[in-house]
Amino acid sequence: MASQVSSENWMPENSRLEILQAAAESFEQRGFSATSIDDVARMLGCTKGRIYHHFGSKADLFAAVFRLGMEMNFAAVEPLTHTDASAADKLRMMAEEHVRQMVTTKSFQRVVWEGVELLMRGALTPEQRDECLRLQQSRKRYSALFRAQMKQAKADGALHYDDLSVATQVLFTCLNSPVFWYRPRIADLRKDQDAVIEQVVRFGLNGLGLKEG
Amino acid sequence: MASQVSSENWMPENSRLEILQAAAESFEQRGFSATSIDDVARMLGCTKGRIYHHFGSKADLFAAVFRLGMEMNFAAVEPLTHTDASAADKLRMMAEEHVRQMVTTKSFQRVVWEGVELLMRGALTPEQRDECLRLQQSRKRYSALFRAQMKQAKADGALHYDDLSVATQVLFTCLNSPVFWYRPRIADLRKDQDAVIEQVVRFGLNGLGLKEG
Protein backbone atom coordinates (compact mmCIF):
# COMPACT_ATOMS: atom_id res chain seq x y z
CA MET A 1 0.00 0.00 0.00
CA ALA A 2 2.09 2.83 -1.30
CA SER A 3 -0.09 5.54 0.27
CA GLN A 4 0.82 4.25 3.76
CA VAL A 5 4.47 5.09 3.23
CA SER A 6 3.93 8.56 1.79
CA SER A 7 6.27 11.21 3.18
CA GLU A 8 3.46 12.32 5.53
CA ASN A 9 3.34 8.92 7.21
CA TRP A 10 6.81 7.46 7.62
CA MET A 11 7.67 9.77 10.53
CA PRO A 12 6.29 9.36 14.05
CA GLU A 13 3.05 11.21 14.65
CA ASN A 14 4.51 13.46 17.30
CA SER A 15 7.33 14.59 15.01
CA ARG A 16 5.72 17.93 14.20
CA LEU A 17 5.05 18.64 17.87
CA GLU A 18 8.63 17.69 18.81
CA ILE A 19 9.90 20.19 16.26
CA LEU A 20 7.59 22.93 17.57
CA GLN A 21 8.75 22.26 21.14
CA ALA A 22 12.43 22.48 20.15
CA ALA A 23 11.74 25.59 18.05
CA ALA A 24 9.93 27.28 20.94
CA GLU A 25 12.93 26.63 23.21
CA SER A 26 15.39 27.89 20.59
CA PHE A 27 13.40 31.07 19.94
CA GLU A 28 13.03 31.60 23.69
CA GLN A 29 16.79 31.32 24.23
CA ARG A 30 18.00 33.42 21.29
CA GLY A 31 15.07 35.36 19.88
CA PHE A 32 13.73 35.17 16.31
CA SER A 33 16.54 36.89 14.42
CA ALA A 34 19.44 35.03 16.11
CA THR A 35 17.82 31.57 15.79
CA SER A 36 18.51 29.36 12.77
CA ILE A 37 16.88 26.15 11.55
CA ASP A 38 20.31 24.62 12.31
CA ASP A 39 19.87 25.48 16.00
CA VAL A 40 16.52 23.70 16.09
CA ALA A 41 17.90 20.66 14.25
CA ARG A 42 20.86 20.51 16.64
CA MET A 43 18.54 20.60 19.66
CA LEU A 44 16.54 17.68 18.21
CA GLY A 45 19.59 15.78 16.99
CA CYS A 46 18.02 15.56 13.52
CA THR A 47 18.71 16.88 10.02
CA LYS A 48 17.50 20.23 8.69
CA GLY A 49 15.63 18.19 6.07
CA ARG A 50 13.33 16.74 8.72
CA ILE A 51 12.34 20.28 9.77
CA TYR A 52 11.94 21.59 6.21
CA HIS A 53 9.68 18.61 5.53
CA HIS A 54 7.16 20.19 7.92
CA PHE A 55 7.94 23.92 7.74
CA GLY A 56 8.93 25.93 4.68
CA SER A 57 11.01 28.54 6.50
CA LYS A 58 12.10 29.86 9.87
CA ALA A 59 9.25 32.40 9.69
CA ASP A 60 6.73 29.57 9.10
CA LEU A 61 8.13 27.71 12.08
CA PHE A 62 7.92 30.85 14.24
CA ALA A 63 4.31 31.48 13.18
CA ALA A 64 3.39 27.84 13.94
CA VAL A 65 4.86 28.13 17.45
CA PHE A 66 2.99 31.43 17.97
CA ARG A 67 -0.27 29.85 16.72
CA LEU A 68 0.04 26.78 18.96
CA GLY A 69 0.84 29.01 21.95
CA MET A 70 -2.37 30.98 21.36
CA GLU A 71 -4.42 27.81 20.72
CA MET A 72 -3.31 26.36 24.05
CA ASN A 73 -4.41 29.58 25.81
CA PHE A 74 -7.83 29.58 24.14
CA ALA A 75 -8.33 25.89 24.97
CA ALA A 76 -7.51 26.52 28.64
CA VAL A 77 -9.49 29.75 29.12
CA GLU A 78 -12.41 29.91 26.69
CA PRO A 79 -14.54 27.12 28.30
CA LEU A 80 -14.54 29.07 31.59
CA THR A 81 -16.47 31.93 29.98
CA HIS A 82 -19.49 29.59 29.67
CA THR A 83 -19.77 28.73 33.37
CA ASP A 84 -22.47 30.10 35.66
CA ALA A 85 -20.11 31.95 38.01
CA SER A 86 -20.14 35.73 38.57
CA ALA A 87 -17.99 37.82 36.24
CA ALA A 88 -15.43 38.39 39.02
CA ASP A 89 -15.20 34.65 39.73
CA LYS A 90 -14.92 33.84 36.02
CA LEU A 91 -12.16 36.43 35.73
CA ARG A 92 -10.28 34.86 38.63
CA MET A 93 -10.53 31.36 37.09
CA MET A 94 -9.53 32.68 33.67
CA ALA A 95 -6.56 34.54 35.15
CA GLU A 96 -5.44 31.39 36.96
CA GLU A 97 -5.57 29.26 33.80
CA HIS A 98 -3.81 32.02 31.84
CA VAL A 99 -0.94 32.28 34.32
CA ARG A 100 -0.74 28.46 34.45
CA GLN A 101 -0.20 28.58 30.68
CA MET A 102 2.57 31.19 31.10
CA VAL A 103 4.33 28.94 33.59
CA THR A 104 3.80 25.50 32.02
CA THR A 105 4.16 26.44 28.31
CA LYS A 106 6.62 29.30 28.89
CA SER A 107 8.72 28.86 25.71
CA PHE A 108 5.63 29.06 23.50
CA GLN A 109 4.28 32.08 25.37
CA ARG A 110 7.63 33.87 25.11
CA VAL A 111 7.34 33.45 21.33
CA VAL A 112 3.80 34.88 21.38
CA TRP A 113 5.21 37.94 23.18
CA GLU A 114 8.10 38.30 20.73
CA GLY A 115 5.74 37.90 17.76
CA VAL A 116 3.65 40.82 18.98
CA GLU A 117 6.80 42.89 19.51
CA LEU A 118 8.12 42.08 16.01
CA LEU A 119 4.79 43.07 14.58
CA MET A 120 4.73 46.37 16.45
CA ARG A 121 8.23 47.11 15.24
CA GLY A 122 7.43 46.21 11.66
CA ALA A 123 10.64 44.15 11.28
CA LEU A 124 8.83 41.63 9.05
CA THR A 125 8.42 40.85 5.35
CA PRO A 126 4.93 41.49 3.86
CA GLU A 127 3.94 37.77 4.03
CA GLN A 128 5.25 37.41 7.59
CA ARG A 129 3.27 40.53 8.42
CA ASP A 130 0.02 39.09 7.00
CA GLU A 131 0.42 35.88 8.98
CA CYS A 132 1.36 37.83 12.10
CA LEU A 133 -1.67 40.11 11.70
CA ARG A 134 -3.91 37.03 11.64
CA LEU A 135 -2.25 35.85 14.85
CA GLN A 136 -2.63 39.33 16.31
CA GLN A 137 -6.38 39.13 15.54
CA SER A 138 -6.61 35.88 17.44
CA ARG A 139 -4.80 37.54 20.36
CA LYS A 140 -7.39 40.34 20.29
CA ARG A 141 -10.25 37.81 20.43
CA TYR A 142 -8.50 36.24 23.41
CA SER A 143 -8.09 39.59 25.14
CA ALA A 144 -11.78 40.34 24.48
CA LEU A 145 -12.74 37.29 26.59
CA PHE A 146 -11.12 39.00 29.58
CA ARG A 147 -12.40 42.49 28.75
CA ALA A 148 -15.99 41.24 28.71
CA GLN A 149 -15.67 39.85 32.25
CA MET A 150 -13.76 42.94 33.45
CA LYS A 151 -16.55 45.17 32.16
CA GLN A 152 -19.28 43.05 33.73
CA ALA A 153 -17.44 42.75 37.05
CA LYS A 154 -17.08 46.54 37.17
CA ALA A 155 -20.82 46.94 36.44
CA ASP A 156 -21.45 44.45 39.28
CA GLY A 157 -19.42 46.71 41.60
CA ALA A 158 -16.83 43.96 42.13
CA LEU A 159 -13.91 45.79 40.43
CA HIS A 160 -12.78 49.42 40.73
CA TYR A 161 -10.50 50.25 37.82
CA ASP A 162 -10.76 53.50 35.81
CA ASP A 163 -10.02 53.08 32.06
CA LEU A 164 -10.77 49.60 30.59
CA SER A 165 -7.97 49.75 27.98
CA VAL A 166 -5.29 50.76 30.47
CA ALA A 167 -6.58 48.16 32.96
CA THR A 168 -6.44 45.41 30.29
CA GLN A 169 -2.89 46.34 29.24
CA VAL A 170 -1.57 46.38 32.80
CA LEU A 171 -3.45 43.21 33.77
CA PHE A 172 -2.03 41.22 30.83
CA THR A 173 1.51 42.52 31.34
CA CYS A 174 1.22 41.47 34.97
CA LEU A 175 -0.28 38.03 34.23
CA ASN A 176 2.24 37.42 31.43
CA SER A 177 5.22 38.45 33.51
CA PRO A 178 6.32 34.91 34.57
CA VAL A 179 7.36 34.44 30.93
CA PHE A 180 10.30 36.72 31.75
CA TRP A 181 11.31 35.75 35.26
CA TYR A 182 9.91 32.33 36.19
CA ARG A 183 12.62 29.70 36.68
CA PRO A 184 11.07 26.35 37.65
CA ARG A 185 12.48 24.66 40.71
CA ILE A 186 12.71 20.96 39.90
CA ALA A 187 11.85 19.78 43.41
CA ASP A 188 8.08 19.83 43.91
CA LEU A 189 7.48 21.51 40.57
CA ARG A 190 3.70 21.56 40.84
CA LYS A 191 3.70 23.16 44.31
CA ASP A 192 6.25 25.76 43.13
CA GLN A 193 4.12 26.58 40.08
CA ASP A 194 0.92 26.80 42.12
CA ALA A 195 2.51 29.25 44.58
CA VAL A 196 3.70 31.52 41.75
CA ILE A 197 0.35 31.34 39.94
CA GLU A 198 -1.54 32.21 43.11
CA GLN A 199 0.64 35.26 43.84
CA VAL A 200 0.54 36.60 40.30
CA VAL A 201 -3.25 36.19 40.05
CA ARG A 202 -3.76 37.86 43.43
CA PHE A 203 -1.55 40.78 42.37
CA GLY A 204 -3.50 41.16 39.13
CA LEU A 205 -6.98 41.03 40.69
CA ASN A 206 -6.06 43.26 43.62
CA GLY A 207 -4.54 45.59 41.04
CA LEU A 208 -7.99 45.78 39.44
CA GLY A 209 -9.47 46.78 42.78
CA LEU A 210 -11.01 43.41 43.71
CA LYS A 211 -11.42 43.03 47.46
CA GLU A 212 -9.54 39.97 48.81
CA GLY A 213 -12.04 37.12 49.30
CA MET B 1 43.31 79.38 20.65
CA ALA B 2 43.68 76.06 18.86
CA SER B 3 42.34 74.07 21.82
CA GLN B 4 38.96 75.82 21.44
CA VAL B 5 38.49 74.32 18.00
CA SER B 6 39.53 70.77 18.86
CA SER B 7 37.19 68.11 17.53
CA GLU B 8 35.60 67.95 21.00
CA ASN B 9 34.55 71.57 20.81
CA TRP B 10 33.44 72.47 17.33
CA MET B 11 30.13 70.66 17.72
CA PRO B 12 27.23 71.94 19.79
CA GLU B 13 27.32 70.82 23.41
CA ASN B 14 24.09 68.92 23.10
CA SER B 15 25.38 66.90 20.14
CA ARG B 16 26.01 63.79 22.23
CA LEU B 17 22.56 63.99 23.78
CA GLU B 18 20.92 64.50 20.38
CA ILE B 19 22.63 61.35 19.13
CA LEU B 20 21.50 59.39 22.19
CA GLN B 21 17.92 60.57 21.71
CA ALA B 22 17.90 59.54 18.03
CA ALA B 23 19.57 56.23 18.89
CA ALA B 24 16.99 55.50 21.60
CA GLU B 25 14.18 56.11 19.10
CA SER B 26 15.85 53.94 16.45
CA PHE B 27 16.44 51.06 18.87
CA GLU B 28 12.87 51.41 20.15
CA GLN B 29 11.46 51.16 16.60
CA ARG B 30 13.60 48.33 15.26
CA GLY B 31 15.38 46.63 18.17
CA PHE B 32 19.14 46.29 18.64
CA SER B 33 19.96 43.77 15.92
CA ALA B 34 17.93 45.43 13.12
CA THR B 35 19.22 48.96 13.88
CA SER B 36 22.29 50.35 12.09
CA ILE B 37 24.37 53.46 12.72
CA ASP B 38 23.05 54.53 9.28
CA ASP B 39 19.49 54.54 10.68
CA VAL B 40 20.54 56.82 13.52
CA ALA B 41 22.46 59.15 11.16
CA ARG B 42 19.46 59.30 8.82
CA MET B 43 17.14 60.22 11.69
CA LEU B 44 19.51 63.05 12.69
CA GLY B 45 20.21 64.12 9.11
CA CYS B 46 23.96 63.87 9.84
CA THR B 47 26.90 61.76 8.70
CA LYS B 48 27.91 58.45 10.27
CA GLY B 49 31.22 60.19 11.08
CA ARG B 50 29.51 62.51 13.54
CA ILE B 51 28.18 59.51 15.44
CA TYR B 52 31.46 57.55 15.34
CA HIS B 53 33.17 60.65 16.72
CA HIS B 54 31.27 60.05 19.99
CA PHE B 55 30.62 56.29 19.98
CA GLY B 56 32.96 53.53 18.80
CA SER B 57 30.27 51.08 17.74
CA LYS B 58 26.56 50.33 17.70
CA ALA B 59 27.02 48.33 20.91
CA ASP B 60 28.69 51.35 22.60
CA LEU B 61 25.80 53.52 21.52
CA PHE B 62 23.28 50.99 22.84
CA ALA B 63 25.11 50.76 26.18
CA ALA B 64 25.21 54.58 26.46
CA VAL B 65 21.44 54.80 25.87
CA PHE B 66 20.88 52.04 28.47
CA ARG B 67 23.16 53.85 30.96
CA LEU B 68 21.45 57.22 30.50
CA GLY B 69 18.03 55.56 30.85
CA MET B 70 19.09 54.08 34.20
CA GLU B 71 20.72 57.34 35.35
CA MET B 72 17.51 59.25 34.70
CA ASN B 73 15.58 56.71 36.79
CA PHE B 74 18.03 56.93 39.70
CA ALA B 75 17.98 60.74 39.59
CA ALA B 76 14.16 60.76 39.74
CA VAL B 77 13.68 58.07 42.39
CA GLU B 78 16.70 57.88 44.69
CA PRO B 79 16.17 61.27 46.49
CA LEU B 80 12.71 60.07 47.60
CA THR B 81 14.27 57.29 49.70
CA HIS B 82 15.72 59.98 52.03
CA THR B 83 12.41 61.64 52.90
CA ASP B 84 10.69 61.24 56.29
CA ALA B 85 7.54 59.57 54.93
CA SER B 86 6.40 56.05 55.87
CA ALA B 87 7.72 53.18 53.75
CA ALA B 88 4.33 52.80 52.04
CA ASP B 89 4.20 56.51 51.19
CA LYS B 90 7.81 56.46 49.93
CA LEU B 91 6.96 53.45 47.78
CA ARG B 92 3.98 55.27 46.28
CA MET B 93 6.07 58.36 45.46
CA MET B 94 8.88 56.21 44.03
CA ALA B 95 6.42 54.23 41.92
CA GLU B 96 4.93 57.46 40.58
CA GLU B 97 8.31 58.86 39.58
CA HIS B 98 9.29 55.51 38.05
CA VAL B 99 6.15 55.32 35.90
CA ARG B 100 6.60 58.99 34.95
CA GLN B 101 10.04 57.99 33.63
CA MET B 102 8.52 55.10 31.63
CA VAL B 103 6.06 57.50 30.02
CA THR B 104 8.26 60.58 29.47
CA THR B 105 11.55 58.82 28.52
CA LYS B 106 9.91 55.80 26.89
CA SER B 107 12.48 55.19 24.12
CA PHE B 108 15.33 55.05 26.63
CA GLN B 109 13.38 52.75 28.95
CA ARG B 110 12.50 50.42 26.07
CA VAL B 111 16.26 50.07 25.46
CA VAL B 112 16.86 49.29 29.14
CA TRP B 113 14.28 46.49 28.83
CA GLU B 114 15.83 45.15 25.62
CA GLY B 115 19.32 45.28 27.15
CA VAL B 116 18.21 43.07 30.02
CA GLU B 117 16.56 40.67 27.55
CA LEU B 118 19.69 40.49 25.38
CA LEU B 119 21.74 39.79 28.47
CA MET B 120 19.41 37.01 29.61
CA ARG B 121 19.58 35.47 26.16
CA GLY B 122 23.35 35.72 25.97
CA ALA B 123 23.22 37.09 22.40
CA LEU B 124 26.23 39.36 23.11
CA THR B 125 29.98 39.39 22.53
CA PRO B 126 32.19 39.04 25.66
CA GLU B 127 32.89 42.82 25.85
CA GLN B 128 29.23 43.71 25.32
CA ARG B 129 28.43 41.20 28.02
CA ASP B 130 30.82 42.82 30.53
CA GLU B 131 29.36 46.25 29.90
CA CYS B 132 25.83 44.89 30.09
CA LEU B 133 26.61 43.11 33.37
CA ARG B 134 27.73 46.46 34.86
CA LEU B 135 24.46 47.98 33.70
CA GLN B 136 22.59 45.00 35.13
CA GLN B 137 24.29 45.65 38.48
CA SER B 138 23.07 49.23 38.41
CA ARG B 139 19.58 47.93 37.67
CA LYS B 140 19.83 45.65 40.71
CA ARG B 141 20.83 48.60 42.93
CA TYR B 142 17.82 50.45 41.58
CA SER B 143 15.49 47.51 42.26
CA ALA B 144 16.95 47.26 45.81
CA LEU B 145 15.69 50.80 46.53
CA PHE B 146 12.14 49.52 46.00
CA ARG B 147 12.66 46.18 47.76
CA ALA B 148 13.83 47.97 50.92
CA GLN B 149 10.60 50.00 51.10
CA MET B 150 8.45 46.98 50.19
CA LYS B 151 10.03 44.99 53.03
CA GLN B 152 9.58 47.82 55.54
CA ALA B 153 5.99 48.51 54.44
CA LYS B 154 5.16 44.82 54.92
CA ALA B 155 6.75 44.90 58.39
CA ASP B 156 4.61 48.01 59.12
CA GLY B 157 1.51 45.98 58.15
CA ALA B 158 0.79 48.32 55.21
CA LEU B 159 1.37 45.70 52.44
CA HIS B 160 0.21 42.08 52.18
CA TYR B 161 2.28 40.29 49.55
CA ASP B 162 3.71 36.80 50.05
CA ASP B 163 7.17 36.29 48.44
CA LEU B 164 9.34 39.45 48.10
CA SER B 165 11.09 38.29 44.91
CA VAL B 166 7.87 37.41 43.11
CA ALA B 167 6.26 40.65 44.32
CA THR B 168 9.22 42.71 43.03
CA GLN B 169 9.17 41.02 39.62
CA VAL B 170 5.44 41.50 39.13
CA LEU B 171 5.51 45.08 40.47
CA PHE B 172 8.27 46.13 38.07
CA THR B 173 6.68 44.40 35.07
CA CYS B 174 3.47 46.24 35.92
CA LEU B 175 5.13 49.65 36.47
CA ASN B 176 7.27 49.21 33.32
CA SER B 177 4.35 48.17 31.15
CA PRO B 178 3.63 51.62 29.59
CA VAL B 179 6.92 51.13 27.71
CA PHE B 180 5.02 48.61 25.56
CA TRP B 181 1.60 50.13 25.16
CA TYR B 182 1.62 53.86 25.97
CA ARG B 183 0.91 56.03 22.91
CA PRO B 184 0.91 59.73 23.91
CA ARG B 185 -2.10 61.74 22.86
CA ILE B 186 -0.79 65.10 21.69
CA ALA B 187 -3.72 67.12 23.02
CA ASP B 188 -3.25 67.82 26.72
CA LEU B 189 -0.19 65.61 26.94
CA ARG B 190 0.49 66.25 30.62
CA LYS B 191 -3.07 65.42 31.68
CA ASP B 192 -3.00 62.25 29.57
CA GLN B 193 0.33 61.18 31.11
CA ASP B 194 -0.87 61.93 34.64
CA ALA B 195 -4.01 59.81 34.18
CA VAL B 196 -1.98 56.84 32.92
CA ILE B 197 0.61 57.19 35.68
CA GLU B 198 -2.08 57.31 38.35
CA GLN B 199 -3.82 54.18 37.07
CA VAL B 200 -0.63 52.16 36.69
CA VAL B 201 0.62 53.12 40.16
CA ARG B 202 -2.75 52.31 41.75
CA PHE B 203 -2.76 48.91 40.00
CA GLY B 204 0.77 48.19 41.25
CA LEU B 205 0.17 49.21 44.87
CA ASN B 206 -3.23 47.53 45.09
CA GLY B 207 -1.54 44.48 43.59
CA LEU B 208 0.84 44.54 46.57
CA GLY B 209 -2.16 44.52 48.90
CA LEU B 210 -2.09 48.21 49.87
CA LYS B 211 -5.49 49.44 50.98
CA GLU B 212 -6.76 52.35 48.86
CA GLY B 213 -6.18 55.61 50.70
- CATH superfamily, domain A58-207, is Tetracycline Repressor, domain 2 (1.10.357.10)
Note the pLDDT tens digit of each residue in A161-188: 999 999 999 999 999 999 999 987 777 7
Chain B touched by A137 (CB under 8 Å): no
A92-121 pLDDT, tens digit per residue, is 999 999 999 999 999 999 999 888 887 777
**Which of B29, B31, B203 lies nearest to residue A207, judging by beta carbons?**
B203
Cβ of A199 within 8 Å of Cβ of B30? The answer is no
Restricting to A residues 7-26, those with a Cβ less than 8 Å away from any Cβ of B are none
Establish, for the pair of chains A and B, how many residue pairs have beta carbons separated by less than 8 Å. Answer: 108
B169 touches chain A (CB under 8 A): yes
**Closest CA in chain A for residue B33:** A33
| Ranges of chain B with pLDDT below 70 | 1-14, 122-124, 212-213
Q: What is the pLDDT of residues A2-40, one digit of tens each?
A: 444 444 444 445 689 999 999 999 999 888 888 999 999
Does the beta carbon of B183 lie under 8 angstroms from any beta carbon of chain A? Answer: no
Interface contact B209-A206, CB threshold 8 A: yes
Determine the residue type at B17: L
Q: What percent of chain A has pLDDT over 90?
A: 68
Q: Domain ranges for chain A, please list them.
A: 58-207
Nearest in space to A22 (alpha carbons), one of A47, A42, A7: A42
- How does A36-46 read in b/e, with b if 16+ C-beta sit within 10 Å? ebebbbebbeb
Mean pLDDT, rounded, for A46-57:
92
> Mutation test of the interface with chain B: which of A118, A164, A166, choosing the one with the most B Cβ atoms within 10 A?
A166
Contact A174 B169 (CB under 8 A): no
pLDDT at A122: 66
Q: Is the pLDDT assigned to residue A211 strictly greater than 50?
A: yes
Chain B neighbors of A212, CB-CB under 8 A:
160, 209
Q: What is the ipTM of this complex?
A: 0.85
Does the domain made of B57-207 have the CATH classification 1.10.357.10? yes
Please indicate whether residue A84 or residue A123 has the higher confidence score (pLDDT). Answer: A84
| DSSP at A3 | G
d(CA B102, CA B11): 30
How many residues belong to chain A? 213
pLDDT class of A212 with cuts at 50, 70, 90:
low
**For residues B179 and B106, is the Cβ–Cβ distance under 8 A?**
yes
**pLDDT classification of A155: cutoffs 50, 70, 90:** very high
Contact status, residue A174 vs residue B173, Cβ threshold 8 Å: yes
Angle at B6 between CA B3 and CA B11, to 5 degrees: 125
A69 pLDDT more than 90 = yes
| Rounded Cα gap, residues A67 and B26, in angstroms | 29
